[in-house]
């Protein structure tokens, strides 16, 4: 006798238990500590904080542990927590010229005031697996520590872009005409056409892989009119200041490491805009250079509307980019196909069976006509 | 009948803390009160303009987008301690996602839950409308994946919003006409578009078109939440909801030549259950509550004759119940 399927509740409980077991892995292997993730998987933590839109390395590390290192899942965990936090105000804009620089390079100029500072980067490493890492450091004492530089890095470095702006060769943010209150994508739905504030928020939260591929498509000719130039990328700590209403003056509430990227894009001018370089902007929490660079390239591509340029390619199309950049949304919707759909499938089955039956009937009829003609 | 019998207590004693206690560190029903107020305002606007999609500041929920976050936000913003919640997915109370959402609200809001349609004050649903007629004072909350009925004809939001504003629905009728010209009928089996109150074309969510007629002049309030797409819309009680059609091609629903193998119902939406490798099938009610209720009353279907080939009779509409 057929008995209707049941037992979803028990199955879920058991699945969660299995998941916990799988997450822990072999119990003979020591469990990962949150501080280990924070200290030794810092770039994962940075990505989770950036796309999770929440600066909290501890929370990001817990999320990474909980998600077994699945960063999109970890980002989702952080977002779902973030949304429950009450908001008591907005910080005043961070000033990146006052960054305590750890890394800062420009590929547009050979030398820049303050100097090129390579900092911690994979850029010039040979991508050879380092088998010495197989042995923990306390056993293998040969792993080096970096020596401190003789001269401290200069603070308060002017942005390279500001050096060029004086010549009138760079666009001015004022052209975007957005001096009102900054929009908040996490509180308001995305509406188009989107202002640059919304666009940048969206890209900052957007999936690194998606933004990266869009930027790549632009470089390969799907949209970009010219080669973008890295005006500057800088990484270091900035101070976050907040003005509590009862005090009325800014107080420092902490320091956060960020990556900022400014990309120069050649714009040949239009009837109302003079020829100039247009800045594309990228900003992330922590050290996410690839993301910041890709973001700055896509930011520029999406300004085609403001600049009166043609909008022909996916990366220039704000509906396409902004509505599909969020990996929490995308992952959820793609994976919802795992949910049962048998009601809808049944409806389609009924439709298709009818269609097939008619198709067969029509076929017979058609053959019948041919037969008659043959006679 | 003991009305309480099927209501599950919030203070379940068996499953330690998983089901029994309200979650610590979170507000009642998860969302903060300001967010709930924002959502209720959106709902009021939606009710005032039947069928119109109202954008709202949809929040991240702890369930993935596409798994009912829109419906959950509506439920969270409406639910109170006196409510009794029913959650169904594909018509059934015990499908995994329905179980998961029901448990979410018993954990975060400590509400009573039920599987009985007539006992519920709030019904959150995915892909079905219960067979039992809903009554006034009940609220049915649909989970909506793509709220825009014109999306697959015109993907651009700017364009479709203008079409809605101008009531310029030509492309939809052209699409339906093309279906008829090519396939002999409108090739839409679920998420079949409706016209609400003679004004807005609306997506009924991916319910089978079998359920569409239930929406018309329904005494219960119908709310639709699309979390990822950040839209809420509504059909107020007793509002006209018309499935789009043509005079010479009137709207019709799917029918089976069979009855439910468990309860013998000849009027419910049926799921197809494949029994063995040879493809023998049985058809059973998709609405588990409806089916159980009939079985409790002593109705029985015929399980002796599994079907080898599912014949449909969409045009004839007569069921031959064994």
Chain A CB contacts of B100 below 8 Å? 8, 12
Gap between the Cα atoms of B70 and B61, Å rounded: 9
Catalytically annotated residues of B: 51, 260, 263, 285, 291
Q: What is the pLDDT of residue A308?
A: 79
Record: contact A347-B190, CB cut-off 8 A: yes
Q: What is the pLDDT of residue B17?
A: 39
Closest CA to A329 of A83, A86, A79, A84: A79
Closest CA to A60 of A73, A70, A72, A74: A74
Tell me the average confidence (pLDDT) per consecutive run of 10 residues in chain A, 375 residues long.
69 91 95 95 97 96 97 96 87 92 88 86 85 75 65 78 80 65 88 91 97 92 79 94 92 96 86 84 96 96 84 90 95 92 89 88 64 44
Gap between the Cα atoms of B202 and B200, Å rounded: 6
Instruction: Give, as one character, the DSSP assignment of residue B138.
Output: -
Q: Which two tokens stand for residue A318?
A: 């704000």
Q: What is the pLDDT of residue B66?
A: 87
Record: contact A188-B57, CB cut-off 8 A: yes
Instruction: Note whether A193 and A121 are same-domain residues.
Output: yes
A297 with A289: CB under 8 angstroms?
A: no
Q: Phi and psi for B155 in degrees, rounded to 5?
A: -75, -10
User: Taking a contact as any Cβ pair under 8 Å apart, which residues of chain A between 75 and 104 contact chain B?
Assistant: 76, 79-80, 82-84, 86
The separation between CA A271 and the C-alpha centre of its own chain, rounded to angstroms, equals 34
Q: What is the pLDDT of residue B175?
A: 93
Q: What is the pLDDT of residue A110?
A: 81
Instruction: Note whether A315 and A212 are same-domain residues.
Output: yes
Which residues constitute the domain of residue A249? 96-138+149-331
Write the CA distances from A166 to A155, A160, A197, integer angstroms: 21, 11, 24
Nearest CB to A346; choose among B55, B61, B271: B271
Q: Where are the alpha helices (DSSP H) in B125-249?
A: 157-166, 170-183, 212-215
Closest CA to B111 of B43, B223, B19: B19
Number of domains in chain A: 2
Our CA dihedral for A103, A106, A110, A115, rounded to 10 degrees, sits at -30
Chain A CB contacts of B65 below 8 Å? 328-329, 331-333, 336
Q: Residue ranges of the domains in chain B?
A: 3-147+198-243, 254-322
Q: What is the pLDDT of residue B91?
A: 92
Nearest CB to B261; choose among A2, A82, A333: A2
The chain B residue lying nearest A326, using CA atoms, is: B228
Residue A300 belongs to a domain: yes
Beta-ladder partners of B285: B270
Q: What is the pLDDT of residue A374?
A: 43
Place of tokens 């929440």: A54
Query: What is B3-147+198-243's CATH number?
Result: 3.40.50
Residue A299 belongs to a domain: yes
Please work out, in degrees rounded to the nearest 5, the angle formed at the alpha carbon of residue A280 by the alpha carbons of A50 and A103: 60
This prediction has a pTM of 0.81
Instruction: Note whether A104 and A192 are same-domain residues.
Output: yes
The separation between CA A201 and the C-alpha centre of its own chain, rounded to angstroms, equals 10
Report, as ranges of residue numbers, the positions in chain B whose pLDDT lies below 50.
1-5, 9-20, 313-318, 322
Place of tokens 């009102």: A180
Chain B CB contacts of A80 below 8 Å? 60-62
Of A82, A106, A124, the one marking the end of a domain is: A82
Residue A227 belongs to a domain: yes
Instruction: Note whether A167 and A263 are same-domain residues.
Output: yes
Number of neighbouring beta carbons within 10 Å of residue B207:
25
């Amino acid at each position: 006798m057929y008995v209707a399927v049941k037992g979803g509740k028990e199955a879920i409980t058991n699945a969660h238990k299995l998941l916990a077991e799988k997450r822990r892995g072999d119990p003979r292997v020591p469990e990962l500590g949150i501080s280990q993730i924070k200290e030794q998987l810092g770039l994962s933590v940075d990505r989770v904080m950036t796309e999770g839109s929440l600066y909290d390395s501890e929370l990001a590390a817990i999320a990474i542990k909980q998600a077994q290192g699945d960063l999109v899942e970890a980002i989702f965990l952080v977002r779902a927590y973030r949304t429950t936090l009450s908001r008591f105000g907005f910080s005043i804009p961070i000033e990146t010229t006052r960054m305590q620089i750890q890394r800062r390079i420009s590929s547009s100029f050979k030398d820049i005031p303050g100097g090129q500072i390579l900092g911690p980067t994979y850029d010039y490493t040979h991508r050879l697996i380092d088998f010495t890492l197989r042995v923990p450091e306390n056993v293998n004492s040969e792993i080096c520590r970096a020596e401190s530089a003789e001269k401290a890095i200069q603070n308060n470095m002017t942005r390279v872009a500001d050096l060029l702006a004086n010549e009138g060769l760079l666009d001015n943010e004022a052209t975007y005409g957005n001096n009102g209150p900054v929009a908040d994508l996490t509180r308001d739905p995305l509406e188009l056409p989107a202002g640059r504030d919304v666009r940048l928020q969206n890209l900052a939260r957007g999936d690194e892989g998606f933004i990266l591929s869009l930027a790549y498509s632009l470089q390969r000719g799907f949209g970009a009119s010219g080669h973008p130039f890295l005006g500057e990328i800088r990484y270091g700590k900035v101070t976050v200041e907040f003005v509590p209403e009862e005090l009325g003056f800014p107080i420092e509430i902490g320091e956060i490491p960020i990556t900022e990227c400014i990309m120069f894009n050649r714009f040949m001018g239009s009837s109302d805009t003079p020829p100039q370089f247009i800045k594309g902007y990228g900003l992330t929490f922590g050290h996410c250079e690839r993301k910041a660079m890709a973001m700055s390239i896509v930011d520029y591509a999406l300004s085609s509307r403001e600049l009166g340029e043609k909008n022909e390619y996916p990366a220039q199309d704000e509906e396409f980019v902004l509505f599909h950049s969020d990996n929490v949304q995308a992952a959820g919707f793609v994976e919802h196909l795992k949910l049962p759909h048998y009601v809808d499938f049944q409806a389609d089955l009924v439709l298709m069976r009818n269609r097939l039956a008619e198709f067969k009937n029509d076929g017979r009829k058609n053959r019948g006509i041919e037969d008659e003609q043959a006679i | 009948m003991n009305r309480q019998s099927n209501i599950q207590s919030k203070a379940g004693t068996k499953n330690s803390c998983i089901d029994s206690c309200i979650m610590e560190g979170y507000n009642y029903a998860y969302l903060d009160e300001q967010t709930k107020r924002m959502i209720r305002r959106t709902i009021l606007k939606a009710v005032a303009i039947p069928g119109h999609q109202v954008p709202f500041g949809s929040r991240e929920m702890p369930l993935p987008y596409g798994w009912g976050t829109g419906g959950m936000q509506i439920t969270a913003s409406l639910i109170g301690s006196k409510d009794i919640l029913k959650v169904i997915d594909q018509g059934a109370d015990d499908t995994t996602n329905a179980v998961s959402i029901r448990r979410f609200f018993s954990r975060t809001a400590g509400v009573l839950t039920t599987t009985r349609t007539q006992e519920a004050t709030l019904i959150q649903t995915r892909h079905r409308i219960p067979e039992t007629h809903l009554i006034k004072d009940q609220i049915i909350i649909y989970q909506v994946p793509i709220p825009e009925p014109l999306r697959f004809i015109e993907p651009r939001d700017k364009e479709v919003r203008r079409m809605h504003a101008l009531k310029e629905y030509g492309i939809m009728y052209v699409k339906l006409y093309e279906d008829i010209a090519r396939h002999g009928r409108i090739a839409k089996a679920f998420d079949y578009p409706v016209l609400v109150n003679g004004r807005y074309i609306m997506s009924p969510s991916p319910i089978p078109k079998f359920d569409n007629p239930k929406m018309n002049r329904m005494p219960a309030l119908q709310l639709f939440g699309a979390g990822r797409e950040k839209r809420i819309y509504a059909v107020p009680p007793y509002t006209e909801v018309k499935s789009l059609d043509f005079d010479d091609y009137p709207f019709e629903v799917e029918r089976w030549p069979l009855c439910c193998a468990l309860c013998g119902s000849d009027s419910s939406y049926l799921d197809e259950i494949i029994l063995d490798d040879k493809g023998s099938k049985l058809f059973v009610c998709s609405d588990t509550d409806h089916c159980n209720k009939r079985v409790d009353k002593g109705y029985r279907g015929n399980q002796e004759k599994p079907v080898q080939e599912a014949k449909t009779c969409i045009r004839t509409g007569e069921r031959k119940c064994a």
